[in-house]
Amino acid sequence: MRAAVVRRFGQPLRIEDVPVPQPGPGELLIKVLTSGVCHTDLHAADGDWPVKPALPFIPGHEGVGLVAELGPDVDRFRVGDPVGLAWLHDACGHCEYCRTGWETLCGEQHDSGYSVNGAYAEYVIGRADYVARLPSSFDPLTMAPVLCAGVTTYKGILETEARPGQWLAISGIGGLGHVALQYAKAMGLRVVALDVGDDKLVLARTLGADAVLRADAADAAERVQQITGGGAHGVLVTAVSPDAFTQALQLTRRRGTVSLVGLPPGEFATPIFDVVLKRLTIRGSIVGTRQDLDEAIAFAVAGKVRPQVRSARLSEINDVFRELKAGRVNGRVVLDLR
Ligand code: NAD
Ligand code: ZN
Ligand code: ZN
């Protein structure tokens, strides 16, 4: 099968012919139809994070496909069933986190396209207990981003604890942010969208943002305070810049919660005085559980969330990465492997 392979960090991916993997017990072989390109895949290929993937590896964790073969003991799926492969490839199932509905925090987890091979390939292995079941009819191109951008931002919004009618500030209107905006509107929130690209703000407006602002404007925080009447109840940071993390605290209302999902390498300054006196909550949020994933998919199936996608071929992956790095992808690029 053809696959895009990372052999060295920071080097172009290579399109290679590699053996089709064989499904073991509890596993499914999935014929990949489409595969979304998340900025995380770029961090993975660049070796950006403290824990790096073992080389070589195949990235991709927004995989949409059909079950091609069942491993031994798998009885919950049939050949031909449509499924979605997400970041959480599997978890141990018995630790404190797995038992309390926080399998995303399991220390024994495997992650698609990071610690196990992902969906930038014609076939990929998924775990029957962790893949998402998709409806019989859907668009494989627009469904792909739901599997990471969708579930991650849906969960991230829930983690802000902002309630319908309240304000959510979304910093970063890229692949994640433009989907976040649609979840937020569908959940009854008012949204102020911030990005450093004008095209991103145009898209945010089209998708129903109540206000849009350049994050790099000198008065951005002040404007958000004015628009929201004292700051946003929830702030979701998807931006790939540590500056956006520092700015997020300036956008937050007293007693508000900042939900951090962007993962640029680095650190950010936290003004202790503001956090303490305004009783702010700063919270990390990592993808979502299987239940979150099903809920996120339901929004898409109901037509309430529809990622803006542009399709590309597997062989174009290095161009797509270059554009993503330069901030030139508006919405999501999805690899079409059909
Ligand atoms: P993307 O490149 O599509 O979008 C990032 C956006 O941030 C771009 O629109 C860019 O213009 C904007 N941006 C850059 N600097 C900014 C600033 N200072 N202020 C506001 N906006 C700014 O990337 P993506 O696929 O949406 O992923 C975003 C980040 O989220 C990545 O770091 C990725 O690894 C991370 N991520 C985290 C999780 C999780 O579970 N926590 C899941 C998926 C992705
Ligand atoms: Zn992702
Ligand atoms: Zn566990």
Taking only the tens place, the pLDDT of each residue in 272-306 is 999 999 999 999 999 999 999 999 999 999 999 99
SS3 content of the chain, % helix, strand, coil (to 5): 30, 25, 45
CA 276 / ligand 2 centre spacing (Å): 32
Peptide bond preceding 271: is omega within 30 degrees of 0, i.e. cis? no
Band the pLDDT of 102: cuts 50, 70, 90.
very high
- In ligand 1, the atom with minimum distance to the C-alpha of 286 is 40
Mean pLDDT in residue range 324-332 = 98
Domain ranges of the chain: 2-147+289-294+306-336, 150-284
Options 3.40.190.10, 3.40.50.720, 3.40.50.1820, 3.90.1300.10; CATH for 150-284 is 3.40.50.720
Tell which CATH architecture fits domain 2-147+289-294+306-336. Alpha-Beta Complex (3.90)
Mean pLDDT in residue range 261-281 = 97
**Residue 246 corresponds to which tokens in the numbers above?**
């520092």
Residue written as token pair 């990929």: 124
For ligand 1, which residues put their CB under 6 angstroms from it?
Answer: 38-40, 43, 148, 152, 171-177, 194-197, 200, 215, 238-241, 243-244, 261-264, 285-287, 324, 327, 329
Mean pLDDT in residue range 134-138 = 94
CA 41 / ligand 2 centre spacing (Å): 7
Amino acid at 273: F
**Which residue, judged by its Cα, is nearest atom 29 of ligand 1?**
262
